């Protein structure tokens, strides 16, 4: 009995490049089924969860959500009953990004894709699907953890946060913050006795925080580790954090669950 054809999802916001990559793949890998093309990172996550492809080609730079952010969200949402798709990142030439992909053992292609280089990627994917099956989720998580964000110039550690509360500007010492939580365009600064919004992104905020004190535990949450009372798992195996000075619990994504294995 022959196995069903491999299925791929392409995530690329430039239509011409997406169509060109699809045509190249169909020429170099006639047995591959292109299950869909997503125009941005959020659509890539939605379509991948619905279509459950064997291979996922992710453009690194897409509006709203990058390919790397989409891969991390997908790893967190992926069902345990289905092998995670093989990942290939598509990127414009960037020495840092390429070095990071190679160190994390994740395949990549430069765009516009070169036939010879893409053929090498196709051969690697075919071999892995034939000999090892789809990659396991733990392997994917380890690879994604190895992809550090682009180097950011050292910044002075943030000591005081200026947050708008009504018509006033509230000064919040960083020492008083229990956790930061990303919203659509803001970050919610949560202390023991209140909350306030700041107009910045979590991506911009994280480099200003002391990484030994403030840990990212979810794509949208950074917690001051001294404010964590316990890490606990529910019946489904989901990890959450109980806080010392707040009643709510914080979800921990699969990508960061390894931080609490010894707690």
Which CATH number belongs to the domain containing residue 212 in this structure?
2.40.50.1020
Same domain, 133 and 21: yes
Q: How many domains are contained in the chain?
A: 2
In a domain, 151, yes or no: no
Looking at the structure, do residues 173 and 76 belong to the same domain, yes or no?
no
Is residue 155 in a domain?
A: no
| pLDDT on residue 151 | 42
Q: What is the CATH number of the domain that holds 108?
A: 3.40.50.2300
Per the prediction, the chain carries an average pLDDT of 88
Q: Which of 77-86, 91-100, 101-110, 237-246 has the highest mean pLDDT?
A: 237-246
pLDDT attached to residue 8: 97
Look at residue 149 in the predicted model and tell me its pLDDT: 53
Are 123 and 167 within one domain?
A: no
Kindly state whether residues 167 and 130 are assigned to the same domain. no
pLDDT band for 164, please (50, 70, 90 cuts). confident
Residue-wise DSSP of 116-145: HHHHHHHHHHHHHHHHT-SPPHHHHHHHHH
DSSP one-letter code for 5: P
Q: Are residues 13 and 137 in the same domain?
A: yes
Query: Is the pLDDT confidence value at 147 over 80?
Result: no
| Helix (H/G/I), strand (E/B), else coil: 211 | coil
pLDDT at 38 over 70: yes
**Last residue within a domain, chosen from 113, 145, 177:** 145
Are 135 and 168 contained in the same domain?
Answer: no
pLDDT of the residue at 135: 62
**What is the residue range of 201's domain?**
160-260
Query: Residue 141 — φ and ψ, nearest 5°?
Result: -60, -40
Lowest mean pLDDT among 28-42, 146-160, 185-199: 146-160
Average pLDDT over residues 138-162: 74
pLDDT at position 203 is 86
């Amino acid at each position: 009995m022959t196995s069903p054809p491999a299925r791929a999802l392409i995530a690329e916001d430039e239509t011409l490049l997406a169509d060109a990559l699809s045509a190249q793949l169909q020429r170099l890998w006639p047995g591959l089924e292109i299950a869909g093309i997503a125009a941005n990172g959020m659509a890539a996550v939605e379509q991948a969860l619905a279509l459950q492809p064997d291979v996922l080609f992710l453009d690194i730079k897409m509006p709203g959500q990058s390919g790397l952010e989409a891969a991390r969200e997908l790893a967190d949402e992926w069902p345990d009953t289905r092998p995670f798709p093989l990942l290939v990142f598509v990127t414009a030439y960037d020495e840092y990004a390429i070095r990071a992909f190679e160190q994390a053992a994740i395949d990549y292609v430069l765009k516009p894709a070169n036939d010879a280089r893409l053929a090498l990627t196709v051969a690697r994917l075919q071999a892995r699907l034939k000999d090892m099956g789809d990659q396991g989720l733990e392997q994917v998580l380890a690879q994604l953890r190895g992809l550090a964000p682009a180097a950011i110039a050292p910044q002075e550690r943030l000591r005081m946060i200026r947050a708008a509360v009504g018509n006033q500007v509230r000064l919040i010492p960083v020492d008083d913050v229990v956790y930061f939580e990303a919203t659509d365009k803001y970050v919610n600064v949560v202390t023991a006795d209140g909350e306030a919004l700041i107009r910045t992104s979590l991506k911009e905020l994280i480099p200003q925080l002391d990484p030994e004190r403030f840990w990212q535990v979810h794509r949208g949450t950074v917690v001051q580790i001294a404010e964590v009372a316990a890490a606990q798992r529910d019946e489904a195996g989901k990890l959450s954090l109980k806080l010392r000075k707040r009643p709510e619990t914080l979800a921990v994504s699969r990508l960061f669950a390894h931080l609490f294995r010894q707690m």
